[in-house]
Structure formats: structure tokens, C-alpha cells
Amino acid sequence: MNPSTLTPGTPAARTAVPGTPSITTQYLARYRRAVGSAADPDGPLPVTGAQRRFVLARRLAPGGRPDVVPLFFAFPAGTVDLDRLRRAAGHLAARHPALRARTEVLRAAPVQRLCAAEALVERAAARPGESAADALRRELARWAPEGPPLRLFLADASKDRAPDDPRTDRDEPVELLALALDHAVCDEQSLGRITADLTDAYRAGLGPADVPQDLAAEEAQGYRDAVHLQLAAEERASAPRSLAYWARRLASVRTEAPRPPHPSRLATAGATEPAWSADPAFPTHPAGAARAVLPVAAGDSRAAAFPVLLGAAATAARALYGPGPVPLFAYPWGGRPAAAPPVLGCFLNTVVHPALDGGPDEVTTRWWDDLDHADTPFDEVVHAARAASSPWSGKLDGMLTFEDLHRRPPLALGGVEGREVHVEGRPLRVPFAISVSYGSELLVRAAWDRSAFSDAHAEEAFAALVGELHARTGAMAPAL
């Protein structure tokens, strides 16, 4: 189907029938019915569209484990005082309502309640033969779903090689700190606020009792307002016109993209492939990984860099999946809705991006068009595509995440700035993931599911991505 020739009789056009409630509208109606009959003076809050997805994914995941967002920092051994860090983390939980939110299902409606302040800060002890990174990965994989959404783990890396950074030649003993959050309570903007506030609370020796009641009440009201404003924006973005846009955008995509014909290394390795962890909650084999560092030219901006990254990710996807099908990548995007206070929380959406052929200008034009409809929740987009007779189930072939380090202050504890490192090998929810950190340079990392792709094939796709980025580095015009 050519999306430019849609007529009122086509399946895609039928997704925009007036009077059909959107998923968001139906959820809000169900939430209001549930809350109206609940004897709770404070009242549970609704969940945002992204949180709605995370709640569902958590219910389907083995053990009910949520999606976890970790940051890793290396500190000189002995720098971090665990008791002081525990108080500081508790201070953040008492101040920021999102860090006290717990999701539950109330009369068939997912909701979130603001509970007592709690944070988990523990030392992660390495087992015999484990590195500090292994110990941290194991702790994150064992994440108990009933605990607090903010957790920190400290592991001794003094006997390890310099963690995860080939440019590091430091010889002093170090410790690795994992700062991890349930993704349902945070987004990129939240991470910057957390590192800044944790630094301040640690330096001042603050704990949960040091949050003034009026400030706690102001933050709680701000969080409530932001959640309701986010849902209002999502409901507007779920109108028939937006759903018809996504139906047209995905109408020509032939899904699902098949597995590549290249044999997986793990599929042929058999019993000779060594297990990397004896923990049953952990995968037997780590994901494959690669990384590259590219310069950023003066004057380049986030808005200019991102469509270049999208185009390069599409190139990698086509190299992975071959000709014919159009792989579907996605990327998180969003921020606080207009008039919302800058509270911590999960105010984002997963935007679908078909990896179509096209030059840089064409990719940029498509991206800007997509951003006009980027508030449409992911489940609404899937529903619109299916209503237009697409075979797409909502499964993604890859993910691109982009972090602007200019928006995240460093984490400093004991007067020492932590050196951020990247611990690879954690379980993946998509076959191929690209992560880009945008600072004074571009740190580009890829991870892939070795049951889907051989290392050689994935590394070829990553080389194609890096080659395209390298060719365009310094040629990205500043955004207007």
C-alpha cells in the first residue's frame, strides 16, 4: 500500500473513525471508576503511557523484574561512605515523589501510590572468580520487584583491570558504584536531577528527615500535576488524526523482519561455550558488545546530531536484516509537558522509526514529521497499525538511546567526581541496541543478542554505522 494514496475506504483511514475511544481515553475512564470507588483519602495516581507499558512488561517478565536504568561510576577505593550514601539516597526518596511511587493494579486499572521514603544501598560482594562488574550485573539481574525503585550497589574493583575503558591506564584501586532506577520512575531528565541532588545531599550529610514538609508537599503536588498533564497530552496525541498518521507511516512496512540467515555463534558452539554466570536469573551467555568514540565538531547540537544517528542506525539495521523487510527501530523521546514542574518521573514515549532507505535530508524530514506526533503512546501506535491490517505485533528489531551528557551533572561523592564507566553484558529486550552518549565526543556503543546474530555479523553492522557517522562527523549543521 502506498501511504500517499490512502482514501476514506482504506484500512488505515478506518483507524480515525470519530467516536472510537483511544486506549488512553479508555484507561483514564477505567482509572476514574477505580479511584471513585476506592476509600483512599490521598487517592492513587494514574500511570503515564510509558509507565503503562512498563507495568505490562513487568507482569510478563520472569520473576516480575522491571526494566532497570543503571549508571556506573568508578571511585578511588575508600572514597564512598556507605552510611552517608544511604542517608543521601533516603533524602532523595523523601524529596522526590517518583522515588516513592509503587505501581499496582486497582480494579483492572494500573495505578501508582506514593509510599514511605525508602532507598536501597548495599555492598555487592564478588563471588570467587567474579569481577566487580560481574557482581553488579548479578545484583541488577536479581532485582526484587517489591523493593524501592532507587538502589545503589558498591563493588570492590581493586583486583580488576581498569573497568570497561580502554583509554584508562590508572593503577590505583577503585570501587564501582551502580546507581540504578526502575525505568517506570525515571527518564533522561530525571538522571541529571538525581546525580545533582545526590551530590548535594551527600556533601551536606542530609537524610530523609531533612526534607522540609512544605517542600515535600510542593514536590508531591508538582508530581501529581505533571502526571495529569502528561496524560492530557497523550490523550490529545491519541486523536484520530494522529493515529491515522502512524497508520500511514507504518502501512508500507512489511513485518516482522525475519531472523538473518547468518548462523549464530552460540547456536553452533554447543556445550563448549563457557557459561559466564552460575546465577539462574542471569543469561548463560553475555550479549555481544562493541564501542567507538567519534569527535563532535564545534557548533554541533543535539537536534542536529540525532537525525544523523537515526540514519546511521537504519543503515546498521538494514545490514543486519538484509534486503526486503523494513526493520523497526525505536527511540525514547519526550520531556515534561508544557506548564509541568521539572519533577522526577517517567515522562517519555517510545517512538517507532522504520529503517527505510533515504538520504540525510529525507531522514531528517521524516524525523521532524514524527516529532509532531511523538506524544502518541506506543500502544496506541501498535493498535493503529494493526487496525490498518499491518501484521506488526509491536515487536521491535532494535533500539537507539541517546543521552546528552551536557544535561547531567557529574556525580561527586566525598569531593571526588565519579568517572562514568559502562558495564556491558546485561540482558537485552531487543535483538540489537545502540546507545550514544553525547558530550565533548560521541561515545557509540552497540549490544546484540548472540542467539540472533553472530558476533562477526553484528560487528559488520556496527562498522557500517560507525563508518556513516565518521563520514558525517563535523558536517552536522547546527539546528535553527
Q: Residue 453: what pLDDT?
A: 92
Q: Is residue 184 part of a domain?
A: yes
Pair 167, 316 in one domain: no
Statement to judge: residues 290 and 225 lie in one domain: no
The answer to whether 313 and 193 have CB atoms below 8 angstroms apart is: no
Q: Helix 23-36 and helix 378-387: axis angle, to 10°? A: 130
In a domain, 17, yes or no: no
Note whether 174 and 76 are within 8 A (CB). yes
Domain termination residue (choose one: 174, 208, 233): 233
Q: Which residue has the cell 544511604?
A: 86
At 352, which CATH number? 3.30.559.30
* SS3 of residue 239 by DSSP: coil
Q: Which of 211, 233, 255 is the last residue of a domain?
A: 233
Place 10 in a pLDDT band, splitting at 50, 70 and 90.
Answer: very low
pLDDT above 50: residue 354: yes
> Per the structure block, which three cell numbers stand in for 92?
532523595
Look at residue 183 in the predicted model and tell me its pLDDT: 94
User: What is the residue-averaged pLDDT of the chain?
Assistant: 83
The grid cell for 150 is: 532507587
In a domain, 357, yes or no: yes
Q: Which three cell numbers stand for residue 362?
A: 529525507
Q: Residue 11 has what pLDDT?
A: 34
Q: Are residues 204 and 340 in the same domain?
A: no
Torsion of CA 288, 294, 461, 351, to 10 degrees: 90
Does residue 185 sit in the same domain as residue 291?
no
Can you tell me the distance from the alpha carbon of 4 to that of 158, in angstroms, rounded to the nearest whole number?
A: 60
Q: Is residue 16 part of a domain?
A: no
Q: Is position 48 within any domain?
A: yes
For residue 114, the tally of other CB atoms under 10 A from its CB is: 18
Q: Are both 209 and 316 inside the same structural domain?
A: no
Q: Which domain holds residue 62?
A: 24-233
Q: Scanning the structure block, which residue is given the C-alpha cell 524501592?
A: 148
What pLDDT digit, counting tens, does each position of 385-425 carry?
A: 988 888 888 889 999 999 988 889 999 999 999 999 999 88
Q: How confident is the model at residue 168 (pLDDT cuts 50, 70, 90)?
A: very low
**Number of folded domains that form the chain:** 2
Both 120 and 189 in a single domain? yes
pLDDT higher than threshold 90 for residue 231? yes
CATH value at residue 109 = 3.30.559.10
pLDDT tens across 97-156, in order?
999 999 999 988 999 999 999 999 999 999 999 999 999 999 999 998 889 999 999 999
User: 184 and 291: one domain?
Assistant: no
State how far the Cα of 123 lies from the Cα of 450, in Å rounded to an integer: 31
- Are 338 and 437 contained in the same domain? yes
**Residue 283: pLDDT above 60?**
no
Q: Is 2 among the domain residues? A: no
Specify the pLDDT at position 2. 31
Residue 107 C-alpha cell reads as 480494579
Range of weakest confidence among 195-209, 269-283, 313-327, 423-437: 269-283
Q: Do 374 and 226 share a structural domain?
A: no
Q: In what order do the strands lie in the sheet with 288-295?
A: 288-295, 441-448, 432-438, 398-404, 328-333, 349-354
| Residue 15: inside a domain | no
Residues 63 and 162 in one domain: yes
**Residue 162 cell numbers, joined:** 581498569
The answer to the question of residue 376 being in a domain is: yes
What does the block give as the cell for 422?
A: 559502562
Pair 112, 251 in one domain:
no
Percent of the chain with pLDDT over 90: 61
User: According to the model, what pLDDT value does residue 145 have?
Assistant: 84
Q: Does 178 lie in the same domain as 254?
A: no
What pLDDT shows up at residue 352? 95
Distance CA 170, CA 281 (A): 33
Q: How far apart, in whole angstroms, are the C-alpha atoms of residue 16 and residue 217? A: 41
